[in-house]
Structure 1
Amino acid sequence: MALKEIGVRPTWRKTGTARRIHDALLAIRDEPYVTLMVSPAAGDGKVHALYESWGYEDIGQSQPSPASAILTVMIRASH
């Protein structure tokens, strides 16, 4: 499974809401792994650090198109 994007409104940030959405989504999936791509610059690196705290590990980099930024590819077990 590839996770595209999780976003919450500013008033819901730092409340655990994004993590609860993430975990609820994975709880109903059967795939053994989930991957995502994150911009290393997002939130001055805070978004990457957040995903690391959720158990994701870096496995490489990707540039989806010539015009896009280089993104960090991350993976973790889905359960």
Structure 2
Amino acid sequence: MVRVGWRKTGASRRIHDDLLAQRTEPQVSLMVNPQAGDGKVHALYETWGYTDVGPSRPSLDSPVLMVMVRERAM
């Protein structure tokens, strides 16, 4: 989550990339609420190279989330 004043500045992508920079796994996975931001969050991850694997509901109290993956080295 990036504060409103930092949105659309590339800050979220830089944070994301920095967090992954030292990782050695060949793939990255995440879970996103496809309804978050009226679908904008999911769409953003797609522009970063993530693709949908399928839905997951981690707990009965959780919304249905979309599992997404991408190759780490991009």
Give the TM-score category using the shorter length: over 0.9
Partner of residue 52, structure 1: 46
Match of 1:30 among 8, 24, 28: 24
Code of the aligned partner of 1:72 = M
Deviation at 1:39, TM superposition (A): 0.7
Q: 1:35 offset after TM fit, Å?
A: 0.4
Aligned equivalents of 1:40 and 1:8: distance in 2?
A: 17
Give the Å deviation of 1:8: 1.3
Q: What's the C-alpha RMSD, in Å, of the aligned pairs? A: 0.7
Matched residues in 2 for 1:46 and 1:52: separation?
10
Cα separation, 2, equivalents of 1:38 and 1:11: 22
Hey, which bits of structure 1, 4+ residues long, moved more than 2 A?
A: none
Query: Which amino acid counterpart does residue 40 of structure 1 have in structure 2?
Result: P
Q: Normalising to structure 1: TM-score of the pair?
A: 0.89
**TM-score w.r.t. length of structure 2:** 0.94
Q: Which structure 2 segments of 5+ residues have no match? A: none
SS in 2 for 1:76: strand
